[in-house]
Structure 1
Amino acid sequence: MDLIIKNGTVVTASETFKSDVGIKDGKIIAMGSDLNVDGAEVVDANGKLVIPGAIDVHTHLAMPFGGTVSADSYLAGTRAAACGGVTTVFDYPMQRKGMTIKEVIDSKKAICEQDACVDYAYHCIITDLNDGDILNEMESAVEEGITSFKCFFVYKKEGMMVDDGTFVQLMLKAKEVGAMINLHAENPDLIDYNIERFLAEGKTSPWYHYLSRPEHVEAEADKRAVHWAKHYQAPLYLVHMADKEGLEALLEAKQDNPNLFVETCPQYLEFTCDVYKREDGRNFVCSPPMKGQESQDALWKAIKNGGIDVVATDHCPFQSYEKDWGKDDFTKIPNGCAGVENLYPYMLSAANQGKISFNRAIELCSRNPAKIFGCTEKGTIAVGKDADIVIYDPEVDFTISVDNMHSDYDHTIWEGIQVKGYPVQTYSRGRLVYDHGDFVGEPGWGNFVKREKRPQ
């Protein structure tokens, strides 16, 4: 064995037990007590939890948006991921009109091969069917390990929105070829109507970003998407769920279609729409926006009772001077916030404080993402799996600040948030990439994760 992690408490989505973990050539090859240490590096995890690396299935790295590009490159974003215990990230490369899926993916591959510090996968955003060519190409994309595709019900003026007919065609094709459609659900016509009205009335503060796309505007689109998925019995993954009404509709529909999945994000669990009344409210502008307390309570309820499947981040930070473009007009604020380095510490802290179990935190952040999106070598600690391992110290008190993060942004919405417990080491396929506050990995280490298709 190359490495043995000894004396720790292994925690998975379903079990908690004392065990040593033996690693060779990037894989877990042995578990048990008193493993033979001959020639192996030994790490003592006494008093600590040994848990699977998180999988953040929702990031936007180096993404052009709002007249700029998101602040974290593939290098910076995956470096930050490693330092927060995330060992696989999913990015959302964007199709523009006329592009094939292969062209979209190839435009990112060379960058990731050079820069990615942890493993990576892609959901391809589809904005144009190319006269049906995209539907024909989906099967070959699935065979290459691209098994999920994203649609927007918003951003009509930006040329990114799909209509209901296109959405249903994509869902049905995904069902046929063993793929998944991910959806950003908000109603674009109501948003555009609200924005036009507020600007005409001189209502331009970040508070009106929230009021332009409040709970019912998201809920209508959630319910419309769930309606189609239910009646066509097609798989659907709703991203960044933030509102109570839409969540409840999806949870009800799950009874008839078990291939419906819902994701929420840490920012919706921590903050409410009141942040948009703050002096720095523009820094919190993202879409969908944070909602009211009733919606946050519903999200936490579904976190606790198993209704929500995944917590991911929608990591898409921008620099403060770019956020300042909208200080007098909320429509000019680039939409997005940081989160990839905060995901696992935040959810594990919730477990450490008794809000959920550690098993549930791992289910939400590692096991379920791996299972839903076909990452068969990841998501748990077991013999034969990739040695994506986090050593977590439940006794550490940690205060998040831009100064102790590892991204390229100059501010964070998580500034001053305190968490109980923190990752002290991260191993990516058996290699130490984060060690007690320091990134010790290497750009280019990350591998492309070829995923298995969904059962048809």
Structure 2
Amino acid sequence: MDLIIKNGTIVTPVESYKADIAVKNGKIVAIGTGFSEEGAKVVDAAGKLVLPGAIDAHTHLAMPFGGTVSADSYLAGTRAAACGGVTTVFDYPMQRKGKGIIETIEGRKEMCDPEACVDYAFHCCITDLNDGAILDEFEAAVNYGITSFKCFLVYKKEGMMVDDGTLVKILLKAKETGAMTNIHAENPDVIDLNIEQFLKEGKTSAWYHYLSRPEFVEAEADKRAIHWAKSMEAPLYIVHMADKEGLEAAITAKNDGHEIYIETCPQYLEFTCEVYKREDGRNFVCSPPMKGQESQDALWKAIESGAIDTVATDHCPFQSYEKDWGKDDFTKIPNGCAGIENLYPYMLSAANDGKISFNRAVELCAFNPAKIFGCEDKGSLAVGKDADIVIYDPNKEFTISVENMHSDYDHTIWEGKKLHGYPVKTFVRGNLVYEDGNFVGKPGIGQFVKRVGRK
């Protein structure tokens, strides 16, 4: 054996039990007791939980947006992921007119390979069908290991939006080729109408970012996307769900037997739109924005009931001076917040405080994203799986600060948040990458995760 983790409590989506884990060549080869420790590194996890590494299925690393590039490179973002117990990161490369899917992915893969501190996968954002050539490439992309494609129903002026006809074409081709369609749902025309009116009235603070795209603006697009997915009998994954009305529509569709998946993010579970009234409200600007208390309550209820499938971060941080570009005009604020290092600790702290179970946290952050997106070797502690393992100390008190994070940004919306319990070790395929507050891995250790298409 290369590694034995003993005396800990293993947590799965359905049970928790005491056992040891034996690792060889990066894989879990046995779970039980009484393993020979000869030649193995032995880690005593007595009094601690042993968890599968989390999967952050929604990040934007080194992403050009809003006249700049998001603050975390692949190196910084995956380093931070490791330090928060995230062992696989999904990024969203942006296909542009004239570019192919695999061409787009390989361009980002070349950037990521030498820097990745954890394993990584890609969705691909589709912005132009290139006269149908992109649809013809779906099958090759799935065979390559890219089994999910994102559509924006917003960002029309930025050239990222798809219309309903294009969305339907993508839904159908994704269904045909065993892929998944991911959707960012907001209504751009209503947003633009609101922005125009607010600017005319001199209403330019961050509060008007929220008011320009409130609950019903997201809900309409949620319902529209769900309508087309149901009509085409195609699977749909709704990213960063933030509003009650859209959430309820998605849950109804799920209960009616349609293959609809719902993702939400920690920022919507922790903050409400009231943050946009703060002096530093611009730092919280992301799209969709945090919503009202009623929406937050509905999200937590769906987390607890099992209706929400995954929690991911939409990690897309910018430096404070870049956020300050919109100090007097909310339309100039780069949209996005940090979260990749906070995902698992936040959800596990919620479990530690009794809001959900540890099993549910593992399901949301590891098991479900692996299952939904075809990561066959990830997401659970079982023989044959990758040894992506987090050791979690439920008694460790931790206060989040930009000073103890491992990203390249200069501020965090999570500043001062107190967590009950915290990861103390992270292993990626049996390799120790994080220990007691310090990154101890090596850039380039991360590997591309080739995913399998839907059956």
Give the equivalent residue in structure 1 for 2:295: 295
Q: Which amino acid aligns with 1:430?
A: G
1:271 aligns with 2:284: no
Query: How far apart are 1:315 and its partner, in Å?
Result: 0.1
Tell me, in whole angstroms, the C-alpha distance in 1 between the residues paired with 2:232 and 2:96: 27
Cα deviation code 1:21-59 (max 9, x no counterpart)? 000100000110121111111000000000000000000
Matches within 5 A, 1:397-436: 397-436=397-436
Query: How far apart are 1:256 and its partner, in Å?
Result: 3.0
Runs of 4+ with deviation above 4 angstroms: none
Tell me, in whole angstroms, the C-alpha distance in 2 between the residues paired with 1:106 and 1:113: 10
Q: Is the 8 A contact 2:101 2:124 kept in 1?
A: yes
Cα deviation code 1:326-368 (max 9, x no counterpart)? 0000000000000000000000000000000000000000000
Give the equivalent residue in structure 1 for 2:358: 358
Q: Which amino acid aligns with 1:180?
A: M
Q: Is the 8 A contact 1:209 1:289 kept in 2?
A: yes
Q: Is the 8 A contact 1:230 1:256 kept in 2?
A: no
Taking structure 1 as the reference length, what is the TM-score of the superposition? 0.99
Tell me, in whole angstroms, the C-alpha distance in 1 between the residues paired with 2:114 and 2:39: 32
Tell me, in whole angstroms, the C-alpha distance in 2 between the residues paired with 1:45 and 1:104: 42
Matches within 5 A, 1:265-344: 265-344=265-344
Cα deviation code 1:408-450 (max 9, x no counterpart)? 0000000000000000000000000000000000110000000
Give the equivalent residue in structure 1 for 2:77: 77
Cα deviation code 1:245-296 (max 9, x no counterpart)? 0000000011234421000000000000000000000000000000000000
Tell me, in whole angstroms, the C-alpha distance in 2 between the residues paired with 1:140 and 1:452: 12
Give the equivalent residue in structure 1 for 2:37: 37
SS in 1 for 2:128: coil
Matches within 5 A, 1:51-130: 51-130=51-130
Query: How far apart are 1:103 and its partner, in Å?
Result: 1.5
* The 10-residue stretch of structure 1 (98-107 or 370-379) with the greater mean CA deviation from structure 2: 98-107
Tell me, in whole angstroms, the C-alpha distance in 1 between the residues paired with 2:194 and 2:385: 49
Matches within 5 A, 1:174-185: 174-185=174-185
Tell me, in whole angstroms, the C-alpha distance in 2 between the residues paired with 1:397 and 1:6: 23
SS in 2 for 1:208: helix
Aligned-residue Cα RMSD (Å) equals: 0.5
Matches within 5 A, 1:257-268: 257-268=257-268
Q: Which amino acid aligns with 1:446?
A: G
Q: Structure 1 residues 159, 397: CA separation in 2 closer, same or farther (over 3 Å shift)? A: same
Give the equivalent residue in structure 1 for 2:239: 239
Q: Is the 8 A contact 1:374 1:453 kept in 2?
A: yes
Gaps of 5+ in 1: none
* The 10-residue stretch of structure 1 (305-314 or 98-107) with the greater mean CA deviation from structure 2: 98-107
Give the equivalent residue in structure 1 for 2:378: 378
SS in 1 for 2:255: coil
* The 10-residue stretch of structure 1 (61-70 or 108-117) with the greater mean CA deviation from structure 2: 108-117
Q: Is the 8 A contact 1:94 1:104 kept in 2?
A: yes
Tell me, in whole angstroms, the C-alpha distance in 1 between the residues paired with 2:243 and 2:25: 44
Taking structure 2 as the reference length, what is the TM-score of the superposition? 1.00
Tell me, in whole angstroms, the C-alpha distance in 2 between the residues paired with 1:110 and 1:189: 37
Give the equivalent residue in structure 2 for 1:140: 140
Query: How far apart are 1:244 and its partner, in Å?
Result: 0.0
Tell me, in whole angstroms, the C-alpha distance in 2 between the residues paired with 1:4 and 1:42: 5
Percent of residue pairs bearing the same amino acid type: 77
SS in 2 for 1:254: helix
Tell me, in whole angstroms, the C-alpha distance in 2 between the residues paired with 1:31 and 1:389: 13
Q: Is the 8 A contact 1:230 1:257 kept in 2?
A: no
Cα deviation code 1:390-409 (max 9, x no counterpart)? 00000001000000000000
Tell me, in whole angstroms, the C-alpha distance in 2 between the residues paired with 1:379 and 1:61: 22
Tell me, in whole angstroms, the C-alpha distance in 1 between the residues paired with 2:59 and 2:249: 26
1:154 aligns with 2:154: yes
Tell me, in whole angstroms, the C-alpha distance in 2 between the residues paired with 1:441 and 1:15: 30
Q: Is the 8 A contact 1:374 1:451 kept in 2?
A: yes
Query: How far apart are 1:15 and its partner, in Å?
Result: 1.5
Tell me, in whole angstroms, the C-alpha distance in 2 between the residues paired with 1:346 and 1:315: 14
Tell me, in whole angstroms, the C-alpha distance in 2 between the residues paired with 1:122 and 1:409: 23
SS in 2 for 1:302: helix
Q: Is the 8 A contact 2:230 2:258 kept in 1?
A: no
Q: Is the 8 A contact 1:233 1:257 kept in 2?
A: no
Tell me, in whole angstroms, the C-alpha distance in 2 between the residues paired with 1:73 and 1:27: 28
Tell me, in whole angstroms, the C-alpha distance in 1 between the residues paired with 2:52 and 2:360: 13
Tell me, in whole angstroms, the C-alpha distance in 1 between the residues paired with 2:283 and 2:308: 26
Tell me, in whole angstroms, the C-alpha distance in 1 between the residues paired with 2:397 and 2:233: 46
Query: How far apart are 1:154 and its partner, in Å?
Result: 0.2
Q: Which amino acid aligns with 1:213?
A: R
Tell me, in whole angstroms, the C-alpha distance in 1 between the residues paired with 2:243 and 2:197: 23
Tell me, in whole angstroms, the C-alpha distance in 2 between the residues paired with 1:423 and 1:292: 31
Q: Is the 8 A contact 1:242 1:268 kept in 2?
A: yes
1:450 aligns with 2:450: yes
* The 10-residue stretch of structure 1 (391-400 or 248-257) with the greater mean CA deviation from structure 2: 248-257
**Aligned residue-pair number:** 455
Tell me, in whole angstroms, the C-alpha distance in 2 between the residues paired with 1:138 and 1:297: 38
Tell me, in whole angstroms, the C-alpha distance in 2 between the residues paired with 1:299 and 1:431: 35
Tell me, in whole angstroms, the C-alpha distance in 1 between the residues paired with 2:340 and 2:145: 23
Tell me, in whole angstroms, the C-alpha distance in 2 between the residues paired with 1:214 and 1:196: 15
Q: Which amino acid aligns with 1:361?
A: A
Query: How far apart are 1:109 and its partner, in Å?
Result: 1.1
SS in 2 for 1:393: strand
Q: Is the 8 A contact 2:151 2:161 kept in 1?
A: yes
